[in-house]
A and B are shown apart, each in its own frame.
Chain A
Amino acid sequence: MYQKILIAFLSALIFSCGPSKFVKPLEKNQHAGTVSLGGPLIKYGNATTPIPFFTGTYGYGIDSTLTGFASLNITSALYGNLQMELGATKQLLKQQHFLPAFSFSPVINFIYHDSKSYKVYPQLDLNAFWEYGKHKNYIYVGVNNWFELASKKAYGISQENHWFVSPMIGHSFNNAKWNINIEAKIIAPNLSNEKLVVDYQTPLKHRGAFGLYLSYTRKF
């Protein structure tokens, strides 16, 4: 066995690391703090376990259809990186019976280690969600899109993959003061995982990875 858990950790540290942020916008002038834990499932020894990822997010309801947010990857910070997501969620369509509400979240994900080591990744989340019940719990599906803009890697090796697509499904349990969110995500099913050291555990076997996430949001 190589140090698979550590390399898996390294891999997941940067990329598609957290769950969706604010699928449904906050109320106008509402504040919210979210902590999230979870990551891609890997095989470690005989067990299947998610890589533990820890992120903290702050959101603010600019109006009832637009929420701005900033998220800090705490696990990455422990490795000396300032890795943040800055973005906004805009709701475009309201739910009409069985037709879902629709929102999208453009995000800038940047990682900074020092003046020679930094990267910026644009990200775009597309979400559809259905509310139900008196607490307005909702189920959602969506697609997370990461974009690698660089054309070359080290030694001039061509960067072949520029679009990392990750479909997800989740459920949010709501209360006036808090939400609890669970999410499952198929990370980058358009990419092969066969030439990696990490044994990703995914229903698609040799494609991408499968992530599980749990989040708690406190609204104030």
Chain B
Amino acid sequence: MKKLIYTFIAFVSLSSCLRLDDNLFNQNKLSEYKLDNYTGEVDFILPNTYDIPSNLIHTFQLHSQSPSEASSTTIYAIYIGDIATIATDTVIMYCHGNKDHMDFYWPRAKLLANTVSKNHYGVLMIDYRGYGMSEGKPTEDGLYADVDAAIKWLSLSGLTNDRLMIYGFSLGTAPATKISANNNYSMKPSKLMLEAPFASAEVMVQDQTGLALPGTTVTDLKINNGEEIKKVQQPFLWIHGEADDFININTHGVVVYNNYNGSYKEGHRIANAGHSTIETTLGFQEYLQIIGNFIRR
């Protein structure tokens, strides 16, 4: 019996190394970016009227390093716009979701580049480490470091805080909120836009189990937009599909929206829209009108 008890204790002690965290990142690798020529699955296809001239599409590398890392990781970025005029333009930093890579999110980035009018704003998008052609392996700290590397590049290109807007979709709402909430990043965006934000990893666990279960029983992720948003003072736009079956609007989105205590907020609950269908449910122009009105107000 003693042997059984010792074996049991040893097993439990030694077996605590598995976590779901690494597996929850849903990245896919690419050997090249195809953008308009990408033939894989995308959430929607834009009409030709939203096309971006090739001279306004710039693919390049950045070097990202979180405070706890000894060396940098090479990640990939795409800038839509004229790099030479960043010093005078308004730029949207687009933080994409958990799935796939920049080819998958290319229509979304193109759409944002057409806010207000054709190619009106610059849009910067990156593949987080481990996604697309970016090197390394996704981590929570890596998300923040990678977006920080991107806004550092914008800063070096002449952008100032007042002309930096940050937009997060789904997983991308974590770095967008974190960077808006804290002062220890290369820039501080002047406005925050969150599409389908999640409140925290714990709410995700509780939604899926139906139980009031501590999130740490399955994940070490500390992502907590519900708390971070309390520190955000910049104007805030929230947009969420009422039929979102991945990130529930009431347990996630409403919590984030209600916890915001800053200078201005507006919320848009989109009837019949799912997690990835806000743009198509609303219609591209109506979606862009919401974004444009918020940026220009």
Contact = CB atoms under 8 A, between A and B. Distances in A.
A154 B214 CA distance: 9
A36 B83 CA distance: 61
B11 A77 contact: yes
A153 B206 contact: yes
Instruction: State which size class the interface on B falls in.
Output: 35 or more
A111 B11 CA distance: 16
Contacts of A82: 12
Contacts of A10: 20, 205, 208-209, 218
B218 A79 contact: yes
Interface in B11-29: 11-12, 15-20, 23-24, 26
Contacts of A194: 245
A3 B23 contact: yes
Given A2-B246, A11-B208, A79-B19, A117 B214 contact: yes
Interface string A62-83: 0000000000100011111110
B18 A80 contact: yes
A152 interface: yes
B214 A80 contact: no
B211 to A, nearest CB: 5
Interface in B200-216: 200, 202-203, 205-216
Contacts of A111: 213, 217
30 contacts: A2-B99, A2-B246, A3-B23, A3-B26, A6-B23, A13-B218, A14-B213, A77-B12, A77-B15, A79-B16, A79-B18, A80-B16, A80-B19, A111-B217, A117-B215, A119-B214, A119-B217, A121-B211, A148-B211, A154-B199, A154-B212, A154-B215, A154-B226, A155-B259, A157-B250, A195-B245, A195-B248, A196-B208, A196-B245, A197-B245
Contacts of A15: 209-211
Contacts of B218: 10, 13, 79, 81
Nearest to A3: B26
A118 interface: yes
Contacts of A177: none
A153 B212 contact: yes
B98 interface: yes
B53 to A, nearest CB: 33
A152 B245 CA distance: 22
Given A157-B251, A194-B245, A198-B208, A6 B214 contact: no
Interface of B: 8, 11-12, 15-20, 23-24, 26, 98-99, 199-200, 202-203, 205-218, 226, 245-246, 248, 250-251, 255, 259
A11 B215 CA distance: 11
A210 B211 CA distance: 18
Nearest to B200: A154
A188 interface: yes
Given A2-B99, A77-B12, A77-B15, A7 B208 contact: yes
Interface of A: 2-3, 6-7, 9-11, 13-15, 72, 76-82, 111, 113-114, 116-119, 121, 148, 150, 152-155, 157, 159, 161, 164, 188, 191, 194-198
Contacts of A77: 11-12, 15
A191 B206 contact: no
Contacts of A2: 26, 98-99, 246
Contact of A154 (B16, B203, B217): B203
B255 A155 contact: yes
B20 A148 contact: no
B55 to A, nearest CB: 36
Contacts of A6: 20, 23-24
B196 to A, nearest CB: 12
A78 B12 CA distance: 8
Contacts of B99: 2
Contacts of A80: 15-19
A157 B211 contact: no
Most buried by A among B18, B199, B212, B214: B212
A220 B164 CA distance: 71
B217 A79 contact: yes
A157 B217 contact: no
A184 B80 CA distance: 55
A207 B226 CA distance: 30
Given A6-B20, A155-B203, A164-B210, 19 more contacts: A6-B24, A10-B205, A14-B213, A14-B217, A15-B210, A15-B211, A77-B12, A79-B18, A79-B218, A81-B217, A82-B12, A111-B213, A116-B216, A117-B215, A121-B211, A148-B211, A155-B255, A157-B203, A196-B208
